[in-house]
Amino acid sequence: MKTSFSGPGRELTADRGLHSVLRTGRREDPDRPLFRRRSESGWHEIGYREFVRHVESVAGELLRRGVRRGDRVAILGRTGYEWALADFAILAIGAVTVPVYPTSSPHQIRHVLGDSGASWFFAETAEDASRLGAETVWLFAELDSWRDEPGTEFEAHQEKVRAGDLATIVYTSGTTGPPKGCLLTHGNMYASSANTVLRTDWLFRQATEGSAEPATTALVLPLSHVFGRTILLSCVIAGTRTALLPGVPELLGELPTVRPTFLALVPYALEKIRKLGLRDLGPLRYVISGGASLDDTTVAHYRDLGVEILNCYGLTEAATAVTVNAPASNRAGTVGRPIPGTTVGIADDGEVLVSGPNVSPGYWPAPVDTEPGWLHTGDLGRVDDDGYLVITGRRKEILVTSGGKNVAPAPLEDRVRAHPLVSNCMVVGDGRPYVTALVTVDSSADATDRTVVADVQRAVDEANELVSRAESIRKFVIVAGDFTVDAGHLTPSMKLRRAVIAQAYAADIAALYRVDSK
């Protein structure tokens, strides 16, 4: 088995929890700007001293209201200062954060809350609170008034938190079946974030290499997803000046003011920003991209604007960080080298295996027995001679045509989605004589217009240039509507739920394979 290991990394001291990270920042550089918070009067900068004081005040209030060590506390809301504040306060007293995606359906919310046994609740708005279905829900807006001293009880609770304690239960957005609650400890989350900072050299600390100016970012990733929280914790560890914004639309409006030197985004967001045709991205020079594959044309677009894409790879079960490219050693076509302390291996069948202090102990309600030392990711890949990981597909998403041809759908889908008119694309072909595709277009486009159809055909033709004839898309259909999270077509992190889409568009798929279809 070929492996890649980048050397020892940083780990949280066994007798410490994540709150120690904040106290370290307060001790070493109390007034360093940590967060930028939007108010009616403009942006307000918050340093370590002020943030730690607020976190400990909220933590003390939680104790006074009955929250105890090990209690599960759900948070439903968009990315913002209050989400981070609630999360760090929960962790400070040894309670457990249970993120709830803002786009979750009532059924999904019931599953997460019921399965985790959450008994305390935070929500962004009154509407969000009603969706949680709980008698008492604390709104984000209340947290500004939670400013009392934490009290002696807080210190006693804080001192008992350990690196091996459970920090969060993150429900993985699987493509089939109900989500499973992945367990992540304080030590898992620290190892993932601290070693991401190490692997990316100066990126989280300095505006440019060797600069005295601190790095600045705008975090728009959902904090309900572990990718967002890993980046957030990385910023806290490194002292990155961070503006917390609820989404990409808000980011676009604040770019001239926030002026980030780097961003962390998923490919879906990069593709959407690209389609807007922005040319001036200010001092932005790097984007960490993770969560799915990114089309080469999107990478080239940003390179033309002076922005370099740093592909990374991870999954919830490894607190999202396994490999990442760095500014000085970025290698196109790869997802980087392992973060320090993490080992990546390639099994005989090509599956990517992971070992390290970032790997989850298992799933709620109790850890499960797995092969000692290795996390089986379900992804296929290879390691090059310099230790860089290349993801080549996913075992469960490899399509095998009736002719026995293996087809990786992601590269085809990525290329078709890159067209400005295309909203989404799903390749079909498992057990079929040839490959086809379901395509959705932006709501402003007329799917029956010949020009639109011709444009989509050109997008398909470009995608087919990436593969052999046997792997190419022979036919496609523009289907009604779009693939959405609410309808169950997409996971909250925007991955395709292939089985759900195939069932919803079964008639369209059948028409593509009729003998008389053209």
Which pLDDT value is given to residue 430?
Answer: 87
* pLDDT tens-digit readout, 189-245: 999 999 999 999 999 999 999 999 999 999 999 999 999 999 999 999 999 999 999
pLDDT range class, residue 80, cuts 50, 70, 90: very high
Query: Would you state the pLDDT for residue 399?
Result: 84
**What is the DSSP secondary structure assignment for residue 215, as one 8-state letter?**
P
In the predicted structure, residue 175 carries a pLDDT above the cut 50: no
175 or 104, higher pLDDT: 104
Distance (Å, whole) CA 216 – CA 424: 32
CA distance 432 to 247: 39
Q: How far apart are CA 137 and CA 120, in angstroms?
A: 7
Q: Specify the DSSP class assigned to residue 243.
A: E
Q: Band of the pLDDT at 177, cuts 50, 70, 90?
A: low
Question: For the domain with range 1-14+186-394, which CATH number is right: 3.40.50.12780, 1.20.1050.10, 3.40.50.720, 3.40.50.140?
Answer: 3.40.50.12780
Q: What is the mean pLDDT of the chain?
A: 92
Q: Are 84 and 46 in contact (CB under 8 A)?
A: no
CATH topology of domain 18-161: Rossmann fold (3.40.50)
174 — pLDDT class (breaks 50, 70, 90): low
What average pLDDT does this structure show over 418-446? 93
Confidence of residue 468 (pLDDT cuts 50, 70, 90): confident
Share of the chain above pLDDT 70, in %: 97
Mean pLDDT of 481-508: 91
pTM for the full predicted model: 0.86
398-512: CATH architecture = 2-Layer Sandwich (3.30)
Backbone angles phi, psi at 471, to 5 degrees: -100, -5
- Give the span between the Cα atoms of 21 and 381, in whole angstroms: 34
Q: Where are the domains of the chain?
A: 1-14+186-394, 18-161, 398-512
The 8 Å CB, 24+ separation contacts for 460-463 are 460/416, 462/415, 462/416, 462/419, 463/411, 463/412, 463/413, 463/415, 463/416
Residue 462 is predicted with a pLDDT of: 93
Q: Is the pLDDT of residue 500 over 90?
A: yes
pLDDT at 426: 97
Instruction: Please write the tens of the pLDDT for every residue from 6-40.
Output: 899 999 999 999 999 999 999 999 999 999 998 88
Contact 380, 345 (CB under 8 A): no
What would the mean pLDDT of 97-112 be, rounded to a whole number? 90
**Is the predicted pLDDT of residue 341 greater than 90, yes or no?**
yes
Indicate whether 411 pLDDT > 60. Answer: yes
**Domains 1-14+186-394 and 18-161 in one fold:** yes
C-beta pairs of 453-457 under 8 Å, 24+ apart in sequence: 453/478, 455/419, 455/421, 456/416, 456/419, 456/421, 456/422
Residue 517 has pLDDT above 60, yes or no: no
pLDDT, one tens digit per residue, over 262-317 is 999 988 788 888 888 888 899 999 999 987 677 788 899 999 999 999 999 999 99
